[in-house]
Amino acid sequence: MAREREGRQDGLEERVVKIRRCSSVVKGGRRFSFNALVVVGDRKGRVTWGYGKANEVPPAVEKAAKDAQETLKRQKKISLRGETIPHRIVGRFGASQVVLVPAGPGTGVKAGPGVRDVLECAGIHNILTKTHGSTNPINLVKATIQGLLELRTREEVAALRGVSL
């Protein structure tokens, strides 16, 4: 599957993670439809996913991108520390687990296909990842985003605990 990367006028980056073909058997033969999983982010700490279905690939991708943009407005910003994440975290969704580990400058994004798209759209440049369990792209994307949303900076934790640094 070729990695698609689209720059948009509104500063959002849109990536097609997976396109799946689905078929139903009808009287005249098989009828095909397509599902698209798209990740949209602003490269400044906000990222979300969208899912679309249509009878052709381009409309499915458009629907998925529109779905993602609508949820991006309601999405909270991810806590980053420079070009990496503040601490190690495990994101879980369904049977998928994604371990996200901060890395030093120059490491790059060491991640598989779905996870890489999410991290790059979020604006993370140095990180190590490992997936466990199911490698279903939809669950991996959701697990990665869920893990990123649970990140907290030192200042946030200090404020929650009522401690001064």
pLDDT above 70 covers what percent of the chain? Answer: 95
Q: d(Cα 124, Cα 137) in Å, to the nearest integer?
A: 19
pLDDT at 108: 94
Mean pLDDT of the chain: 91
pLDDT above 90 covers what percent of the chain? Answer: 78
Give tens-digit pLDDT for 43-75.
Answer: 998 999 999 999 999 999 999 999 999 999 898
For domain 89-161, is the CATH number 3.30.230.10? yes
Give tens-digit pLDDT for 126-153.
Answer: 999 999 999 999 999 999 999 999 999 8
- Segments making up each domain of the chain, as ranges: 4-72, 89-161
Would the CA dihedral through 69, 71, 76, 82 be positive or negative?
Answer: negative
Domain spanning 4-72, CATH architecture = 2-Layer Sandwich (3.30)
Average pLDDT over residues 79-103: 93
Confidence of residue 40 (pLDDT cuts 50, 70, 90): very high
* Strands 127-133 and 109-110, sheet pairing: parallel
Q: Where does 33-153 have alpha helices with state H?
A: 57-72, 113-122, 137-149
Q: Name which of 107, 104, 108, 111 is nearest 143 in CA terms.
A: 111
